[in-house]
Amino acid sequence: MTPLLILICLVLITIVVIQIGKVTELASSIRGEEDTQVEINRWSGILSLVFVVVFLIGCVYSAAYYKNYMLGYGPHDAASAHGSSIDFLFDVTLFFTGIVFVITHIALFWFAYKYQGKKDRQAEFISHNNKLEVIWTLVPAIVMTLLVISGLDAWNEIMPDVGDDEDYIEIEATGVQYNWLLRYPGPDNLLGTRNFKLITGVNPLGQDWTDPKNQDDLQPSEIVLPVNKKVRVRITSRDVLHSFFLPHFRVKMDAVPGIPTYFIFTPTKTTEEYRQSLSYYPEYQVPSDPDDPEGPQRWETFEYELACAELCGMGHFSMRRVVRIVSEAEYEAWLSQQNSYYLGNIRNGDEDPLKGKLLDVEITQHKKEFTSALNLALSAPDSVEKVVQLNYVQYETGAANLTSDSRYELDNLVEALKANSNMRIEIAGHTDNVGDAVNNMALSQSRANVVAEYLQKQGVDASRFTARGYGQTRPLVSNDTDENRAKNRRTEFRILSN
C-alpha cells in the first residue's frame, strides 16, 4: 500500500512541475524571455541568502538543542581513562572544520547572490591566480598536518599493548551475525585456545576442551567490569566484519575474521556514577517509558552498551549487549556467580572429549563440597546430623573394589582426620533394596571395610574409626526410582566424637 501511495505522489509532483514549467513558458512569451530570466535570477539570489542564514542558524541551534545527547558534551564526558584525549581531538577537529564549514557556505551562497546573471553582465576571465592557489593549498595542508600529527600522538598513547607485569583483566568478544559472543577467562585468568574447526552448535567459539584453560572459561550475556581496572579486550569475528564499539568509553575497533585485534581501556565511572551525572539534565528527567509516566526516569534506566559499528547485515541493529561498570566488590560477587560454560553445557555430553575422566576443576569442586559438609557436621549439635556423605567414593558394580577416582574423596577424609586429631568416626556402607538382603548386608560391610583399609594404609590409626555395613536397612529415600536407589547406595561416615 505505502509504495503505491509514494508512486502516486511522485506522479502528481511530476505533473505539477510540468504544469508550472508550462505556465512560466507562457508568461515569458507574454512578457519577453530576457526580463523573466533576470527576475528569476534576482529571486534565486535573494532566496540563496535567506537559505544560508536559516541553514546556519538551524545548524547552530540544533547543535545547541541536542548538545546534552551528544558524546563529549553535557553529561557525556568519557567514562574511560583515555576518552578525554579523543574528545579533545574531536573538539580541535570540529573547531577547524567548523570554520571551513561556515566560511564555505557563506561564500557559496553569497557568490550566487552577488554574481547573479544580469543584462549586460559578462563573466571576468582569470586564467589562474598564484597567490590564491598558494593560500588555499597551504592553509588546509598545515591544518591537516596538525590534525594528523596530534591524531597519531593520541593513537600511540592509547594503543600500546599491556606489559607482562601489568595488572589487567582480559576478556574476549567475538562478533557473529548477529550477536556478540563474550568470554571471560574464569578463575585461572587465562583464556583457552580456540580452533575454528571445532565450532558446533554447542561450541560457538570452537574452544578446545582438552585445554584446561578452556574448562573454566565463562560465556556471560553481558560485560561486567570493575571500575578503574585496566581491561584488554580480544576482538575477533567468526563471519564478516564487525566493529566492537563502546561509545561511552570511546572504544571502537574492527572485528576482522582471521585477524585478532584488541583494545585496552580503563573504565573510570561506574554505571551508577554515570546515571547520577545524567540526573542533573532535564533531558534525562523524563519517564523512560512514555506509557508509564510514574515509572523510572531515563537517567535511572541508563545502561552502558556494546554495539556493532559495522553495517554487517540485516540483523546488525540487534548486536547490542549491556555493559555494567561496578565496584571491585560487586565485580567479584558477580564473577563468583558465573558458571563455567564447559561444565554447564559440554561436560559429559556427546561433544565432551574428556567424558568420564575426572578433571582437576572437579577434584577441587568435590573437595569444596566435602569441606563444607564436614564443617556442617562438626558444628551440628545433634548426633543424627553428624553424618557426611562420601559422594564420590564408588565401587565396581556388585563388588567391593574402589574405583580409582575414589581416592580423591578418601584423601579428603584422610586429611580431615589428620587435621582434627580428636575426631573418631564410623564408616557406614549402605545399599539399595535390589537383590538379596543378606548379600546386601555382606556387600555393604565389605565396602565399608575397604574404606577402612584405605584409611589405615594412609597412616590413620585404627583406633579412630570403625567400619560397619547396614545393607538396605537404612535407606535415605524410598527405593522407588533408579535415581532414589542410586542415592541409597552410598558410603558415609558419622562423627562419633571430636
Q: Which residues bind Cu ion (CB under 5 A)?
A: 242, 308, 312, 319
Closest CA to 322 of 310, 309, 306: 306
Question: Which lies closer to Cu ion via its Cβ, residue 306 or residue 308?
Answer: 308
Q: Tell me the residue type at 107.
A: A
* Helices 406-419 and 360-379: angle between axes, nearest 10 degrees: 40
Rounded to a whole number of angstroms, the minimum distance from the CB of residue 308 to Cu ion is 3
Between 251 and 425, CB nearer to Cu ion: 251
Burial of residue 151, with CB atoms counted within 10 A of its CB: 0-12 exposed, 13-18 middle, 19 or more buried = middle
| Minimum gap (Å) between residue 291 Cβ and Cu ion | 31
DSSP state, residue 249? G
The Cα-based distances of 1 to 4, 7, 11, 14, 321 in angstroms read 5, 10, 16, 20, 36
Longest dimension (CA), the chain: 129
Closest approach of Cu ion to the CB of residue 305, in Å? 14
Question: Which is nearer to Cu ion, 254 or 411 (by Cβ)?
Answer: 254
* Closer of 239 and 283 to Cu ion (Cβ): 239
CB 439 within 8 A of CB 446: no
- Pairwise CA distance, residues 436 & 159, whole Å: 73
Instruction: Report yes or no: 232 and 164 within 8 Å, Cβ to Cβ.
Output: no
| Cis-peptide, bond into residue 69, ω within 30° of zero | no
Minimum CB separation from Cu ion for residue 242, in Å? 3
Using the minimum distance from each CB to Cu ion, give the nearer residue, 223 or 417. Answer: 223
Our CB check for Cu ion shows the closer of 319 and 413 to be 319
**Shortest Å, Cβ 315 to Cu ion:** 8
Shortest Cβ 322–Cu ion spacing (Å): 17
**406: which 3 cell numbers?**
575414589
To Cu ion, the closest distance from the beta carbon of 90 in angstroms equals 24
42 vs 234, beta carbon nearer Cu ion: 234
CB of 317 to Cu ion, least distance (A): 9
> Between residues 177 and 479, which has the closer beta carbon with respect to Cu ion?
177
SS (H, E, C) 10-73: HHHHHHHHHHHHHHHHHHHHHHCHHHHHHHHHHHHHHHHHHHHHHHHHHHHHHHHHCHHHCCCC
**CB 306, CB 323: distance < 8 Å:** yes
